[in-house]
Amino acid sequence: DAGVIQSPRHEVTEMGQEVTLRCKPISGHDYLFWYRQTMMRGLELLIYFNNNVPIDDSGMPEDRFSAKMPNASFSTLKIQPSEPRDSAVYFCASNRKDSAGNTIYFGEGSWLTVV
Amino acid sequence: GENVEQHPSTLSVQEGDSAVIKCTYSDSASNYFPWYKQELGKRPQLIIDIRSNVGEKKDQRIAVTLNKTAKHFSLHITETQPEDSAVYFCAASKGSTLGRLYFGRGTQLTVWP
């Protein structure tokens, strides 16, 4: 299994620009999560989907952030317009309900720098 | 929601010594407690987990204990090695919110050769 695949791995953008982060979950997983990691706030859950439907977006910081999951194998997290305080590592993760429990599997992360 | 607290935030040990990281949680309904290891510049990866029907679980040099009454769980690493140096995160979740993990703030473990 290729694991959770994220792109881009690194992005540097100017303040005000639109940023789109992409994620392909593990095949067969029906839950997808977007996390943000910073030194100040640690790992924060932004939003998660079940069967492509957003379940909880209470962690999305503000209207500048939006996430979509048009199908079971693809999700995007968009920031428009971006600001320097959005600089962070954004992780996508996925899992599947089974007898093994609630383990989630992270992608390699997208390192975003907004200058 | 659930609140997970983790201590200490940093931990330095000599190679060969043991390391213990402790976490507490607030929601008595939580029933799944994984531990993740994150090396510098890498993604968090699951190293061990425990469910509420078990008090202790061991995997080679790593063990996790759970005290449901006190609502705390701990990670124990014995015979530490320099490659154990990383940030360790504890987390908690409950079956009603599958996969929604509440993470602690992490512990930076440094193992000196």
Tell me the CB-side half-sphere exposure of residue B38, using CA atoms within 13 A.
Answer: 25
| pLDDT tens, position by position, A12-69 | 999 999 999 999 999 989 899 999 999 888 899 999 999 999 999 999 988 999 999 9
Q: Above 80 in pLDDT, residue B1?
A: no
Q: A-chain residues within 8 Å CB-CB of B34? A: 102-103
Burial class (CB in 10 A: 0-12, 13-18, 19+), A114: buried
Q: How many CB pairs under 8 A join A and B?
A: 48
Residue of A72, A70, A90 lying closest to A19 (CA atoms): A90
User: What angle is formed at CA B13 by the lines to CA B10 and CA B14, rounded to 5 degrees?
Assistant: 155
For chain B, the average pLDDT equals: 92
**B88 — contact with chain A (CB < 8 Å)?**
no
- CB of A103 within 8 A of CB of A95? yes
Residue with tokens 């190679």: B15
Residue of A44, A99, A93 lying closest to B46 (CA atoms): A93
The predicted pLDDT at position A100 comes to 55
- Interface contact flag, A33 B99, Cβ < 8 Å: yes
Q: Which two tokens stand for residue A65?
A: 């952030």
User: What angle is formed at CA A34 by the lines to CA B73 and CA A3, rounded to 5 degrees?
Assistant: 85
The predicted pLDDT at position B88 comes to 98
**B43 — contact with chain A (CB < 8 Å)?**
yes
| Count of beta carbons in the 10 Å neighbourhood of residue B85 | 18
